């Protein structure tokens, strides 16, 4: 097993120094799902959720969350994101969210993509909870990452 980079020689948490790393184009894609009753899904499709356009608000929330990842995850570096895209697919049992984050930088954007998906799905829950309090968020995972020293990875 490789050394954990977020721990110093004494085992204390630290922010990794990426100053000497080469700037490369980096991209990460993450996915997650929220399941719900057919009635809740139908209300989202019909646009009859009292709080407004669920998918539009969730998409904006995911983009905003990606930009704030370093404020939420203690050891993440703040990154100048060049792209954050949220794709939402609604079916009769829920919403699948896929987030793509990209940057030209010295460290990857996996956490930004995962944070974007998580907050997107939490926003769907918040907006539709009056219709279905048993919604379940899950299957959040990294699908791929490109760029950087460790190269490309695909699930």
Catalytically active residues, by annotation: 126
DSSP state of 107: S
Tokens at 61, concatenated: 């929330």
Q: Which two tokens stand for residue 131?
A: 């219709």
Tokens 């989202």 correspond to 44
Q: DSSP per residue over 122-149, as a string?
A: HHHHHHHTTT-TT-EEEEEEEEEEE-ST
């Amino acid at each position: 097993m490789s050394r954990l980079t977020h721990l110093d020689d004494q085992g204390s948490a630290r922010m990794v120094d990426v100053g000497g790393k080469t700037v490369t184009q980096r991209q990460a894609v993450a996915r997650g799902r929220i399941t719900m009753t057919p009635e809740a899904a139908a209300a989202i499709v019909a646009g009859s959720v009292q709080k407004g356009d669920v998918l539009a608000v969730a998409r904006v929330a995911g983009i905003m969350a990606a930009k704030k990842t370093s404020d939420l995850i203690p050891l993440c570096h703040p990154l100048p994101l060049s792209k954050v895209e949220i794709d939402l697919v609604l079916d009769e049992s829920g919403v699948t969210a896929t987030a793509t984050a990209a940057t030209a930088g010295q460290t990857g954007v996996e956490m930004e993509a995962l944070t974007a998906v998580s907050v997107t799905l939490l926003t769907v829950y918040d907006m539709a909870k009056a219709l279905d309090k048993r919604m379940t968020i899950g299957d959040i995972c990294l699908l791929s990452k490109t760029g950087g020293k460790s190269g490309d990875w695909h699930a």
